[in-house]
């Protein structure tokens, strides 16, 4: 204990992090050498309270804290049972990427104290648990931290009478976090002021949680405050940035993303919104790197606010959608419900929209479908088509082994509360099905890995398993010198139902991030397929209904694919597994842009603006098929399409100009209708050019079909130089259509990095 105390003094007093960590390690090494557990629970608690977070990621402290808790339970040291459980809960709130998993762990510890010790868990633990429950409750977007586990209103008077400042602070700190996330900014600020008046006795809470939230609450409320208050806010945020800067330099895994968030908030307060946006982007990348899902969502939301302030509304909305998806993935359904009310244009999570999410449910939606789409579709189709339970599991393990690059693997499913080994498979396509094989009776697997994934619901990748610092002590891994391990939890409707366990003993680092994401993408289909196969054993009719639902989902998926990619490209991707870039010698490209769109975006209600754009663009989408035109993309108020790809044809220029005439006809008809109703209308410029392009599918996280080349730039230049209501074409297009269309020469127009271009009007 003396070494740990001295190490903590070096860190807190002298900021000598390196020496402080060294003394903490020395203390634990002495315990190991002496092989004693005397006061080890207190030493472990102190080490993880004051030292470990400067050395290792928060999530990796769980094993040491569990040992401290076990020792405290064995000795009956109720005080340290409470202290350790409280710290475990804080770590879960700070680092667990799955809210439901964090909540379950805290609830289990509360139940443990009640069942094994007849000991009522301290209120400080219960309020943390109640915060997680409220955050997961889709009906509680009002920011109230109150419920069955901890009823603040019932205990409030007692807290004040007994001067329990730490409890009061803890409650109001939880309330301001919840209200900030649910965008109740004024209420969040009031909760913060109340907490700060009481006085933050517990520095650990402030460090792990509150400082990150405080800077963002200050930022969102800054513009509404008086000058004196704003001055105090600037000073406070600057101090917090300084704290995080030092922390991030020592322990980036725990503090780098928080430092970036704090920097962004300070820049936003100073009015430097572009610079703030850049820092929030860095915070997103850092949160992704170190797996802080909640703080990543917060950074996306702050980035969206900066983008909208900068007038980039369209991309700002995309960022809000991403934040919503991440909050849903994390399990913060109270936030999701509030977002749906604030942003009715959001693409909502179906489970939440249909009321299928329960309080505290840990369902996960992976929005990062960024991998080999053809492989995903083929694998998903193979799984969805099999309803015989044994055949499905044999097929499933082989698909997992193939897609992950494993040598062998097992699928374990939960049955009557216990994990059972159900099927084995290997790279030679050999499989073995087990009827009722208990994990406890099976030696050919790492139980330490299995227990970790089953408890945390987190994917685990071990690059060199036998030599891993945390898992290498496992008997199976050590005896078999196992190299690479990948284990994936399988969740269905927010419940853990089993896991995949895969090994590769040919090489270390066998499981790449791309392969891991591919299996993550398939995990939802795996869960659904397992559920279907189980149902068919007893409820044949139920399986027929479920199979129909899967077919409908597959049809929706296919339709979505065809909405994103041209049919020929989508088929190529499905059949060959790839969509090769292709050079087209001659295609015709069209750009359309609305007159005075920026002015309209300022004067129209945002719902009306989106509705207007959708009306025009949807009308264009309806007619382009008639002219064999392929829509490429829309960028704000710009509409881009091409003719002559992916299926080549010789009449592309004529067809495109006919489509352009039809577009202007639609615009004129809508103008007449809207003028009669005294509604806002748009007029447009259209530019067309013919020439060579390269076309292909791009994107690592969100794919899209796009085209490149000077042809695209010249078509854009024609549109820019065109008068409103006209259709401008280049000389190249003119020579291809002059026999069929009347054209009028307009002279030359300038073009960036090119010679002047001849332009004609249709």
What pLDDT was estimated at residue 51? 74
Determine, yes or no, domain membership for 612. Answer: yes
User: pLDDT tens, 445-478?
Assistant: 999 999 999 988 888 899 899 998 889 889 899 8
Q: Are residues 613 and 534 in the same domain?
A: no
Determine, yes or no, domain membership for 574. Answer: yes
Write the CB contacts of 87 (distance below 8 Å, at least 6 apart in sequence).
45, 48, 49, 65, 204
Determine, yes or no, domain membership for 377. Answer: yes
Domain of 587, in residue numbers? 567-761
In this predicted model, which residue has the larger pLDDT, 123 or 654?
Answer: 654
Do the beta carbons of residue 479 and residue 447 sit within 8 Å?
A: no
Helix (H) or strand (E) holding 497: strand 495-504
| CATH code, domain with 462 | 3.30.450.40
The mean of the pLDDT values for the chain is 81
Determine, yes or no, domain membership for 384. Answer: yes
Q: For residue 362, name the pLDDT band (cuts at 50, 70, 90).
A: very low
Q: Are residues 522 and 592 in the same domain?
A: no
pLDDT more than 90, % of the chain: 28
Q: Are residues 545 and 407 in the same domain?
A: yes
Q: Are residues 530 and 645 in the same domain?
A: no
User: pLDDT tens, 135-160?
Assistant: 888 888 667 788 888 888 888 888 88
Q: Are residues 603 and 624 in the same domain?
A: yes
For tokens 């419920």, name the residue.
147
| CATH code, domain with 587 | 3.30.70.1230
In this predicted model, which residue has the larger pLDDT, 153 or 658?
Answer: 658
Q: Which residues pair with 504 in a beta bridge?
A: 484
Mean pLDDT to the nearest integer, 518-540: 69
Mean pLDDT to the nearest integer, 300-310: 91
For the chain, the domain total comes to 2
The last residue of one of the domains, among 555, 580, 612, is 555
Which alpha helices (DSSP H) does 96-151 contain, by range?
99-117, 123-136
Mean pLDDT to the nearest integer, 384-391: 75
Q: Are residues 618 and 533 in the same domain?
A: no
Supply the pTM of this predicted model.
Answer: 0.49
Specify burial of residue 660 (Cβ count, 10 A radius: 0-12, 13-18, 19+).
buried
Mean pLDDT to the nearest integer, 503-510: 85
Lowest mean pLDDT: which of 63-77, 95-109, 427-441, 687-701?
A: 63-77
Q: Are residues 649 and 711 in the same domain?
A: yes
The last residue of one of the domains, among 555, 590, 606, is 555
d(CA 274, CA 498): 46
Q: For residue 360, name the pLDDT band (cuts at 50, 70, 90).
A: very low
The last residue of one of the domains, among 512, 528, 555, is 555
Determine, yes or no, domain membership for 689. Answer: yes
In this predicted model, which residue has the larger pLDDT, 537 or 695?
Answer: 695
Give me the phi and psi of 610, to 5 degrees please. -60, -40
Q: What is the DSSP letter of 358?
A: P
Determine, yes or no, domain membership for 644. Answer: yes
Cβ neighbours of 678 (radius 10 Å): 6
The answer to whether residue 616 scores a pLDDT higher than 90 is yes
Lowest mean pLDDT: which of 216-230, 400-414, 591-605?
A: 591-605
Q: Are residues 596 and 656 in the same domain?
A: yes
Which alpha helices (DSSP H) does 252-388 contain, by range?
252-269, 273-290, 293-309, 313-330, 333-342, 350-353, 373-384
Q: Which residues pair with 706 in a beta bridge?
A: 696
The answer to whether residue 382 scores a pLDDT higher than 70 is no
In this predicted model, which residue has the larger pLDDT, 367 or 30?
Answer: 30
Write the CB contacts of 195 (distance below 8 Å, at least 6 apart in sequence).
168, 169, 172, 173, 176, 210
Q: For residue 409, name the pLDDT band (cuts at 50, 70, 90).
A: very high
Give me the phi and psi of 525, to 5 degrees please. -65, -35
Mean pLDDT to the nearest integer, 299-309: 92
Mean pLDDT to the nearest integer, 279-290: 91
What pLDDT was estimated at residue 372? 47
What pLDDT was estimated at residue 7? 65
Determine, yes or no, domain membership for 153. Answer: no
Q: Are residues 457 and 606 in the same domain?
A: no
Q: Are residues 532 and 574 in the same domain?
A: no
Give me the phi and psi of 418, to 5 degrees please. -125, 150
The answer to whether residue 559 scores a pLDDT higher than 80 is no
Q: For residue 95, name the pLDDT band (cuts at 50, 70, 90).
A: confident
What pLDDT was estimated at residue 261? 94
What pLDDT was estimated at residue 395? 87
Q: Are residues 508 and 597 in the same domain?
A: no
d(CA 437, CA 412): 10
What pLDDT was estimated at residue 714? 93
Determine, yes or no, domain membership for 361. Answer: no
Residue 68: both structure tokens together = 């401290």
Q: What is the DSSP letter of 210?
A: I
Q: Are residues 463 and 400 in the same domain?
A: yes
Mean pLDDT to the nearest integer, 186-196: 87
d(CA 357, CA 136): 9
Do the beta carbons of residue 499 and residue 490 sit within 8 Å?
A: yes
Q: What is the DSSP letter of 33?
A: H
d(CA 278, CA 265): 11
């Amino acid at each position: 204990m003396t070494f740990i105390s001295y190490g903590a003094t070096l860190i807190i007093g002298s900021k000598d992090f390196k020496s402080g960590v060294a003394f903490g390690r020395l203390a634990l090494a002495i315990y190991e050498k002496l092989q004693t557990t005397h006061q080890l629970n207190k030493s472990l608690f102190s080490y993880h309270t004051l030292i470990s977070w400067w050395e290792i990621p928060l999530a990796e402290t769980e094993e040491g804290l569990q040992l401290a808790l076990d020792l405290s339970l064995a000795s009956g040291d109720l005080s340290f049972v409470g202290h350790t459980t409280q710290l475990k809960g804080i770590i879960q709130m700070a680092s667990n990427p799955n809210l439901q998993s964090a909540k379950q762990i805290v609830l289990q510890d509360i139940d443990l104290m009640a069942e094994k010790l007849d000991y009522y868990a301290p209120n400080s633990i219960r309020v943390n648990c109640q915060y997680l429950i409220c955050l997961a409750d889709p009906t509680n977007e009002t920011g109230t931290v109150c419920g069955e586990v901890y009823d603040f209103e019932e205990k409030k008077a007692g807290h004040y009478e007994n001067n329990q400042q730490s409890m009061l602070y803890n409650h109001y700190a939880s309330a301001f976090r919840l209200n900030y996330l649910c965008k109740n900014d004024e209420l969040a600020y009031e909760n913060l002021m109340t907490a700060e008046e009481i006085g933050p006795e517990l520095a650990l809470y402030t460090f792990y949680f509150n400082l990150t939230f405080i800077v963002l609450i200050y930022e969102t409320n800054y513009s509404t405050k008086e000058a004196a208050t704003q001055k105090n806010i600037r000073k406070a945020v600057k101090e917090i940035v300084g704290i995080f800067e030092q922390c991030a330099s020592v322990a980036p895994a725990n503090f780098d993303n928080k430092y970036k968030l704090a920097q962004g908030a300070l820049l936003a307060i100073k009015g430097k919104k572009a610079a703030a946006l850049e820092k929030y982007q860095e915070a997103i990348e850092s949160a992704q790197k170190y797996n802080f899902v909640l703080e990543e969502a917060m950074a996306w939301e702050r980035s969206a606010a900066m983008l909208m302030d900068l007038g980039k509304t369209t991309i700002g909305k995309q960022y809000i959608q991403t934040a919503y998806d991440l909050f849903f993935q994390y399990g913060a359904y109270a936030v999701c419900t509030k977002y749906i009310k604030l942003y009715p244009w959001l693409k909502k999570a179906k489970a939440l929209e249909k009321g299928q999410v329960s309080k505290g449910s840990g369902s996960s939606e992976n929005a990062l479908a960024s991998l080999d789409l053809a492989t995903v579709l083929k694998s998903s189709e193979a799984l969805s088509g099999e309803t015989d339970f044994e055949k499905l599991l044999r097929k499933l393990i082989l698909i997992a082994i193939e897609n992950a690059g494993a040598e062998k693997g097992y699928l374990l499913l939960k049955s009557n509360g216990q994990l059972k080994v159900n099927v084995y498979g290997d790279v030679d396509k050999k499989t073995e099905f087990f009827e009722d094989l208990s994990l406890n009776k099976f030696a050919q697997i790492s139980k330490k890995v299995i227990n970790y994934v089953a408890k945390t619901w987190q994917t685990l990748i071990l690059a060199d398993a036998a030599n891993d610092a945390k898992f290498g002590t496992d008997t199976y891994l050590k005896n078999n010198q196992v190299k690479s391990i990948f284990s994936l939890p399988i969740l269905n409707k927010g419940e853990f139902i089993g896991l995949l366990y895969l090994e590769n003993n040919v090489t270390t680092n066998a499981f790449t991030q791309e392969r891991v994401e591919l299996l993550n993408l398939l995990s939802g289909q795996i869960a659904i397929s397992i559920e279907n196969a189980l149902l068919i054993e007893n409820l044949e009719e139920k399986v027929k209904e479920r199979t129909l639902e899967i077919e409908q989902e597959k049809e929706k998926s296919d339709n979505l694919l065809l909405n994103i990619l041209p049919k020929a490209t989508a088929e190529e991707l499905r059949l060959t597994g790839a969509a090769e870039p292709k050079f087209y010698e001659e295609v015709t490209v069209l750009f359309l842009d609305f007159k005075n769109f920026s002015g309209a975006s300022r004067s129209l209600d945002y719902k009306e603006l989106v509705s207007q754009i959708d009306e025009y663009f949807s009308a264009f989408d309806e007619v382009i098929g008639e002219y064999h035109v392929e829509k490429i993309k829309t960028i704000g108020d710009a509409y881009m399409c091409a003719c002559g790809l992916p299926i080549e044809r010789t009449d592309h220029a004529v067809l495109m100009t006919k489509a352009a005439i039809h577009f202007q006809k639609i615009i004129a008809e809508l103008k007449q209708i809207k003028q009669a109703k005294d509604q806002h209308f748009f007029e447009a410029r259209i530019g067309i050019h013919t020439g060579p392009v390269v076309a292909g599918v791009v994107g690592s996280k969100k794919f899209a079909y796009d085209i490149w080349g000077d042809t695209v730039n010249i078509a854009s230049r024609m549109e820019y130089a065109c008068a409103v209501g006209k259709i401008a074409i280049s000389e190249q297009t003119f020579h291809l259509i002059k026999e069929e269309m009347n054209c009028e020469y307009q002279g030359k127009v300038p073009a960036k990095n090119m010679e002047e271009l001849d332009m004609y009007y249709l």
